[in-house]
Chain A
Amino acid sequence: MAFPERARVQELFKGLWITFKSMFEKPVTIQYPEVKRPVTPRFRGRHVLNRFENGLEKCIGCSLCAAACPADAIFVESAENSDDERFSPGERYASTYEINMLRCIFCGYCEDACPTEAITLEDNYELSFTNRYDAIYTKERLLVSVPQNGKPTPQEVEPGKFDRSVPVMEDPTD
């Protein structure tokens, strides 16, 4: 091995200078639990079950999400609606709705399959649990809270008003 030429020794000091300079740059660290990075508009985080403005659930218990789910993570059981005890518009509602978050792969197919935009994947990605049973999100945990002008389900409604199960929908904006 030849004695290193002057140029190579200079490179060593150049390298030292670069690392020294970088000490005075602003750290790129994000102090996670206190500071969170915003997620992208179409981020696929934890699912929620949405409601109409009057508080009725959008989910009609059709099980299309369960059929679309490639990981078999969704379980739906449906029951009949009546005007005295109405959960959702139309004939049926989901009496049981469970998503196993240990199976879910967050592909968003359930969202695509849903005819009423009831299930959507939202921004929450903090899904830690210490127990396998906690990984199964039940309907109570998935449902969004009742909107301000709405009433909680089941509602007592005037007969013949909510007989259309699939609402009028618009194209997504984001």
Chain B
Amino acid sequence: MEPALIIEWVIKSAILLLFGVTGFAYLTLYERRALARIQVRIGPNRAGPFGILQPVADGIKLIFNQELIPATADKVLFVLAPIITVLPALIIWAVIPWGRQVIIGGREINLYLSNANVGVLYLTAVASIAVYGIVIAGWSSNNKYALLGGLRSSAQMVSYELALGISFIGPIMLAGSMSLVDIVEAQSKVWYIVPQFLAFLIFMMAGLAEINRAPFDMPEAEQELTAGYHAEYSGMKFALFFMAEYIKMIAIAAIGVTLFLGGYRIPFIDIPPAIEPLVFFIKILILLFVIIWVRATFPRFRYDRLMAFGWKILLPLSLANVFITAVILVFRG
């Protein structure tokens, strides 16, 4: 392997990680401002113009927070849990394409880290690792609320992962490939949200459950479990959980855009490759707004209803969707 390629990959990874971390910081601000507008408030606007320094202030505050490890906690796992949670959220970005190629200094650079031919499989595999972090956090805290939060989260994630994974199959069948780049290129005429609208709905609902967002934020349910699995965490360890949650939110939005909303492409128009990441970014922002909007609107599910909804409605629906798609594809040849 030529050394230039390694340097290229390192630079691209660094940019992606930087995007993830700053994206997390500014997503908190975006969410707070959007929620405030929906609740007819203004939101944070004191730190810097329009509050753009608010994430910096929050970050500094968290860094200087006292780190507390409960005396009865399992110390190794307690420290390990936030790391296990945040890593999958970051490495999930490896297969998501931001554009085709740009030519910088006579060198063709792919705007994705890897065009894995099992990209979608990688997504589902990596997304499931995060549940370990949450369960370990809940268990190692040696706190009842945290344990309950961790258990709820494992049950919820296992239930909704199935529907999430099966909702991916629609686009895979239409594109005839598991590579995310191929799936995006196959959407150059029509976005998959049109032929696969049901799959998109299932994906959004299961995705929200997978990243523990309202109305499926059962693991942290403030009113019942104080803070759920991260009740005992403080300082930067808490910030890591927070970061994982928000980066996963961006990742789910990015996956939704890639699989159902045409990724970096606009239908019928051939845009220059340099602005493709921008198109992708704007689409992510719109989908993130939908996630925030849903949070502002719906109350939390009751726990048994959440499980019933996942197993008795979402799973059969997604299976039916796969079946119908397959039948139509076979009959159309």
Which A residues have a C-beta under 8 Å from some C-beta of B?
1, 3, 12, 15-16, 18-20, 22-23, 25-29, 31
Contact = CB atoms under 8 A, between A and B. Distances in A.
A23 B313 contact: no
Chain B interface, DSSP helix/strand/loop, else mixed: helix
A29 B38 contact: no
Given A12-B298, A28-B40, A29-B42, A1 B312 contact: yes
B293 interface: yes
A28 B41 CA distance: 6
A29 B309 CA distance: 38
A25 B40 contact: yes
7 nearest CB pairs, A to B:
A29-B42, A19-B297, A1-B308, A23-B37, A27-B42, A15-B297, A19-B38
Interface string B34-58: 0011111110000000000000000
B41 A1 contact: no
Contact of B298 (A15, A25, A27, A29): A15
Interface of B: 36-42, 293-294, 296-298, 305, 308-309, 312-313
A29 B297 contact: no
Chain A interface, DSSP helix/strand/loop, else mixed: loop
29 contacts: A1-B305, A1-B312, A1-B313, A3-B313, A12-B298, A15-B298, A16-B294, A18-B297, A19-B38, A19-B293, A19-B296, A20-B38, A20-B293, A22-B38, A22-B39, A22-B40, A23-B37, A23-B38, A25-B40, A26-B40, A27-B36, A27-B37, A27-B40, A27-B42, A28-B40, A28-B41, A29-B41, A29-B42, A31-B42
A16 B39 contact: no
A26 B293 CA distance: 18
